[in-house]
Structures are given as C-alpha cells and as structure tokens.
Chain A
Amino acid sequence: MTQMDLQPPDVAEPAATTPVIEMQDISITFGAVRALSGVGLRLFPGEVHALMGENGAGKSTMIKALTGVYTIDGGTIRVGGEEQHFSSPAAAQAAGISTVYQEVNLVPNLTVAENMLLGREPRRFGGIHVRAMNRRARETLDRLGIEVDPTSTLGEHPIAVQQLVAIARAVDVDARVLILDEPTSSLDADEVAKLFTVMRTLRSQGVAIVFVSHFLDQVYEIADRMTVLRNGRLVGERMVADTTQLELVQLMIGRELEVLERLDREVAATSARESGAPVMKALGLSRKGSLEAFDLELYDGEVVGIAGLLGSGRTEMARLLFGADTADHGELHIRSERRRLRSPRHAIDRKVAFSSENRRAEGVIEDLSVADNMLLALQASRGWLRPIPSGTRQRLVTEYIETLDIRPPDPQALMRNLSGGNQQKVLLARWLITQPEVLILDEPTRGIDIGAKAQIQQLVAELARRGMSVVFISAELEEVLRLSDRLVVMRDRRKIAERPNDDVSVGDLLEIIAGEARTQQEESRA
C-alpha cells in the first residue's frame, strides 16, 4: 500500500462547464472478478481526454461499458445530462459516441467512401447514389483535412490512412464523443502527427475525444486532461499540464520508479563478453523477396539488439534464425554444427526460442488456460505420448507466474481474459520453460504498460547475465540501446551495420539509418 491509495481521487476542473459524458461509480463484475469498482469519467466538449493506466487497469472495460459492449452492474452513465443505458454499441453510436479500435475494422476491398458510409449510403431509385456518396465522403474528409481520394480502394492505403478513414467514418455520424483506443500503436512519427492534426481539428469543432495510448509523450502532446485507473479503481483526474510524467507514472503503477532506475544501473553492469565460439552463426543467410544475405554471430551471455524501422527486415531476420521461414541460401551453424532449419521444431530442438511480434496471431492460444499456454512448447518437444507430470507442471507454472508477476495469478484462467502485458509474460514463460540457449524476442514490449515493460527488460538483462544469448528486437531505439551489448541495424530488408554498443546514442543510431538512405539516394541519382 502506498500513500496514494489512501487519498480520495483528485478532481481537475476543465474550462467547459457541463460534461457531455459523466460516468459515476461504475462497477462491472465478470464471474468472481471485479473488473471495475466505483470508477468515474467526466468528459467535456472540445477536450482531448487521456484514459491512463497499466494493462489490466480497466481502460478497455471502461470504454466497453461506455459504448454498450458490456452492461454495467452499478453506477450511472449520463450523456448530455440524461441517464442512459446502452444495450449495444449501435445504441451508443446513435447517442453520438463513436469508437475507433486499434485494429481497423473496415473492409479493405471497398472504396474509402463506401467504407465511410457503409450501412448508411445515400440512396436513389432503390440503389446506392454513388456520386452523392463520394461527395459526402469528400466533404467529411476535407473538413478533417485528410487528403485521400474517396473513390480509391481502402486496402491500397497504409494502415495509418485507413485509421484516419476509420475516424472520418466515426465522426461522419455526428459524433459528439470519439473514442480512440491505441490509435498510434502501428503508426510512425509522421503519421502520428497527421492523426494529431485531425484530432485538433475535431477538438476545435467541439468533439470530446477519449485517447488511450501507452506512449506518454503523445499523451503530453495532445491531451488536455486525463483520468488515471489502477486495478479497476479510479486513482484520479488531472490536468495534463499540471502533472509531470514522473507523477503520472507513479499514479499508474502505484509504486516508485525505483524499478526503472535500478534497471538502468543493473543493465549498465552487464558488458559484452564475446568469448569462445558463437552459439549461433549465420553466413550469407537469405530468403528471396524477404531478406538479403546477411552474416551474424551470436554469443553466450550477450544481448544483440536489432534496430531499424518497421518493415526493415528485423522480423524477417528473426524468422530465418528460428526456421519459421526457410532460408534459400546461406549457412546456419548452431554450436559449430551446420544445421538446416526447415521448421520451428528443428530450431526448438537446437535450443533456440522465438517470441513473435504478433502476439495474437502467432503467440497466444486464446481458449486454452494460462498453464497450457505456458507449457505448450515444452510439451510439443516432448511429444504427446509423454505428458508433463502433474507435479512438474504445477511447479513450473506456479514458479513462472510468481517470477514474472503474472496477473491474475490463476493457472486455469483462460488466456483470452488476460491483458496484453500478462499474455506477453506467459509467452515469455513458454519459452523460458524450454530452457533455450538462444532467445529471440521480437517486440516483446510493444503495446504493454510501463510496469510490465520494465519487468521484461529487467528479465532480459538477467537472462543474459546468466549466460543466455538474447536477440532483442524493438522499434523503440532507447530500449534497444539500454539493453544491448551489440547493435545490428537493418534497412530495406538488408543488414546495413553492426557495432558494439559503447555510448551509442539514439541520434547516432538514427544517423546510421539515415546516412545509408542518403547514399542510396545519391546512387539512384548517379
């Protein structure tokens, strides 16, 4: 218990006087689990309101309560002063509350305009009035300053544009409230800037925006006020301008930032220890259309960080080293023996483990329990005829739930009911249980909160100290720099640089990537 828990929730007064949304004393229970108890949210017209909290704090539940996906067990929801009971997302939408989720739920093979007006197309002579539809879509897009041709096919555009279209669709129904759930997680900096421009336009038009994001910098850039949740309870309501980032993080995780600071010191203590033969060595490994030939050596007790932009070939490299994709050319040596990895299974048998960046599609088995998910890789390598004895099973599961601080600490909980960060920890446990010598982590901290992130970083450092060879891939350069002994930089599906991590700064790293870009431009000009 920290002191903070004893204080009553704070209140921050906004400029506008009457809230468009007022949620009071909301409680939701799933079975025996209290997902929310007595939380509230006040949303005023013309503000960007950040909903903050760790994974599992109740942010998603709160949003789903507001949009009628979940029915509330207690409390009241007022929209424009009137009490409302939404029985479905459609009912919430009719009341002017629109939501855009992290994954874009649109139809890629329809046009932008068709997507924006799907289900409410202007009609004429019993058919769709295509010209009117395109005109109306164009008006909405113009109003938001989004430059995209309404007659183009949605799937042709990058995910960021699709997201903007999703927002345009949401506000086209006269939204008074727009909820953006992790809208920036797959966008690059330019695209985030574009999104923020659109958000500012909407704010100036009096729309109330709920913004959920794990990126604190973004919250500070765009949000006016925020509501902080922790463990399904309301911690407080704050003005963003009056709260430092450190204070915010403390509110969210409810404990001092010691963890993170200690981590920095500990990691600094680990140093490169290239000695002996490499545990894994790639020579001219390549795969057509996926990755150009590269060399790479991995040593025991060393963290190799792979940096590069999205789509630079980071993931492709990891998949080749694990046999998730098979290489066309080149050699791979594990413990000085040449191996052909034709499937992940071959790699696992050679003590290589790989945690995919795509948690949902390539990691979790949603309908199985936490225990089954943890033991899957070990069980698979033992074969189905040799089930893990129940004693060992219990010991392993309890041990990892405890060490990795997995919540809820229930081995029988279904994987689908865990938050992203906890799912990630279960997947880490799945691989640690197989006692790998090489651990490849692709974006292990993406989309998870700062507390879990710190725990995972700490774990990586600890594993390397104990002699494991870790490959750490992340889009966050600071994170790569903090953890790695050696850096590999990728660009355009090529390995362009490798160097020891001795006082390399984010700027240096960016320069390597950008420098290469310059030479390429010069080449193409010549």
Chain B
Amino acid sequence: MRKVLAHQLVWPVLALVVLLVINVVATPSFFDVRMQDGHLFGSLVDVLRNSAPVLLVALGMTLVIATRGIDLSVGAIAAIAGAVACTYIVGSDEGAAGTAIVASTTALGVCVLLGLWNGFLVAVLGIQPIIATLVLMVAGRGLAMLVTDGQITTVNNELFSDLASGFVLTLPVAMLVALLVFGLTALVTRRTALGMLIEAVGINPEASRLAGVRACTIIWTVYVFAALCAGLAGLIIAANTNSVNANSLGLWIELDAILAVVIGGTSLAGGRFSLTGTLVGALFITTLEKTIPNIGIPSEANYLFKAVVVVAVCLVQSPQARAALRVRRPAPLVAKAAVS
C-alpha cells in the first residue's frame, strides 16, 4: 500500500477520479456512452475529444520543461498553424480533400520553422527560455493576423473539419491523433536514449556537456517538437469551428499545458519527466472545465477553479506542506530547502 501511495501518479489520478465522481453525482448519466450512427457519444467521449489540443501542447511542453526550459509561444504557434491552413484552403480548391492535406502539411512546416527559431534563441544564443519564447508569444499572434488579414476566416472543407469532429472506428479523430502522438512520443523517448539524454541535460547541463552529450541539438529538437505539437493542436482547434480567429485561437493554451505538465508530476526545475502524468494532467484540466458547468456554476468561473488547482499542486510539491501533512518523505527535500 505504501508503495502505491509513493508512486508519483497517485495524486493526479486520485484528483481525476474525484472530479469524475463529482460529475456522476451531479449528472448520473455522465458515464453513459451511446452508439449512434456508428459513433460513440457521451460526456466521457466529449472530455476525451476536447482534451486533444491541451494534451498535444502539453506533450511538447513536457519535453521542453524536462530540459529546464519553457515554451510560452505555443498558443501563438497554434494560431499561426490555424491561420496558415485556413487561408490556404480558402485560397485554393476549397472543398477538395487534397487541399486539406496540403494546407495542414504547409501549416506544420511553418511550425517547424518557428520551433527552429525558438530552439536557435535558446540553444545557440543561450537566451533564457522564458524570454526567448516570449518573443514569439507576442509576435506570433501578429503574424497570424497578417496571414488572415485580421479577418475571421471561415472554411468549408469536409476532410479538414473531420480532424476535429470526425470519427474513425467509432472514435473521435482528434482523440486518436492526440493518443497517437502520445504513444509515439512515449515510444521515441523511452525506447531510444532520447528520454534519458533529455533528463540528463535538464538535471545537469554542464556535466552532460562534459560527458559528450550534444545538449544543443537536444534542446533544439525539443523546441521543434513542441512547436509541431502546438501546430497540430492549432489545426484541431481551427477544424473544430471550421474557422480561424487569429486573436483567440489557442489563447492561454500554454498555461493550461504547463498546468497539465505540473499536475502530472514533472518538475518545472527540469529533469525527470512523466508523459503519462501529463496525459492525466491534460484529462484532469478538460474534465474540470466540463465539471464546472455540470454542477451548475457558470463556466466563467473556470479560471477560479484552475487557480485553486494551481495552489493545491504547489502545496503538494512544497516540502514544508508535505512535512506538515506528515507525508513520509525523508528529509533531503527539507535539507535542500534549508540550504538554498
């Protein structure tokens, strides 16, 4: 039992379960899943589908944070991806499937360039990540506005719209895309040595450099990956509304993503990361957003509840609070706090 309690995923999973229970109490039909026209419908499916963008952004963010970095520009990058894709679709054969594919590929290509830019600032020029990505966070929305001419661009393309609202094998496409990326990321980081090298760089950059780790390349890679994930999220968000508003697409999603990562137990100080934790974190945030209206509180209050979660997470990670709660963790944490 102690071993189970000591596992780092216990608290996030427990929190998620509590939220689900609250929902079931408020709406007994919450867990009901119906089959309709060969598709699965229900609140749970909604949560899974809606969590796709946050999960995608958070996956990229997890790796960035593991290298001691942070990427604030992901929301802006999502907006640029949506803007590029929608503008391209409107500008060519609007309904054709091929158009949607070219548009999405182009958008993701742009995201890779943006990721290279971020990575260049952080890994090569050595600018602090929070400042380096702030550049694109601010400038990116402007770029997206330039692409859309400041208009809300509406598109009409079935394949593109399927990215958000379509179904494959009875399951929502958005969810499948996010889970696929999750699976691939887990595979690549844990089956190759990438995950270990990322952690090494995050824990002790100088020691890693002296051991021959190409820290520069690794840091560059994670920023490109984060931008790519953000782009994918942007496409899904745009496809969901069949339109792009450069001002609001993916606004503040970087904060949700960071929150998801932290809930999942990856420390903002870098080092050890948990992709599964991030998955749970993303699901938690989406469920929370669903829970608030479900128990009869106006959804504007969402931010308040997220704030409560942030406070709770901080408390759980604080050595002093742990000591007060008598969570048995031997003293190194306290000792470290006392020294620093």
Contact = CB atoms under 8 A, between A and B. Distances in A.
Interface in B204-247: 204, 206-214, 218
A520 interface: no
Nearest to B335: A69
Contacts of B192: 384-387
Given A367-B271, A382-B193, A376 B208 contact: yes
A382 B208 CA distance: 14
B207 A363 contact: yes
B199 A388 contact: no
B324 to A, nearest CB: 11
Nearest to B6: A31
Nearest to A363: B207
Interface stretch (A155-163, A240-248, A341-349, A480-488): A341-349
Interface in B311-338: 330-332, 334-335, 338
Given A344-B210, A364-B207, A366-B204, A380 B199 contact: no
Interface string A347-383: 0110000101000011111111000100011011111
A125 interface: no
Contacts of B272: 367
A501 B33 CA distance: 83
A23 B50 CA distance: 60
A324 interface: yes
Contacts, number: 92
Contacts of A30: 330
Nearest to A347: B212
Interface in B177-194: 191-194
A71 interface: yes
Interface in A54-69: 64, 69
A394 interface: no
Nearest to A355: B210
Given A366-B204, A385-B192, A380 B210 contact: no
Interface string A65-85: 000011100000000000000
A430 interface: yes
B193 A430 contact: no
A377 B212 contact: yes
A356 to B, nearest CB: 6
B197 interface: yes
B210 A365 contact: no
Contacts of A365: 199-200, 203-204, 207-208
Contacts of A382: 193
Contacts of B210: 322, 324, 344, 354, 356, 362-363
A263 to B, nearest CB: 29
B200 A372 contact: yes
B59 to A, nearest CB: 18
Contacts of B271: 367
Contacts of B338: 69, 88-89
Contacts of B5: none
B211 A344 contact: yes
B207 A70 contact: no
Contacts of A363: 207, 210
B206 A362 contact: yes
A322 B332 CA distance: 34
A336 interface: no
Given A376-B211, A379-B193, A69 B331 contact: yes
B208 A384 contact: no
B196 interface: yes
Interface of A: 30, 64, 69-71, 88-89, 101, 105, 322, 324, 343-345, 348-349, 354, 356, 361-368, 372, 376-377, 379-388, 416, 430
23 contacts: A70-B331, A89-B338, A344-B212, A345-B213, A354-B210, A362-B206, A363-B210, A365-B204, A365-B208, A367-B271, A368-B199, A372-B200, A376-B196, A376-B200, A376-B213, A377-B211, A380-B208, A380-B214, A381-B212, A384-B192, A384-B218, A385-B192, A385-B193
Nearest 5 pairs of A and B residues by beta carbon: A348-B212, A380-B212, A384-B194, A380-B213, A387-B193
Given A64-B331, A379-B196, 19 more contacts: A64-B335, A69-B335, A89-B338, A105-B339, A361-B206, A365-B207, A365-B208, A367-B203, A368-B196, A368-B199, A368-B203, A372-B196, A376-B196, A376-B208, A380-B211, A384-B194, A386-B192, A387-B191, A416-B332
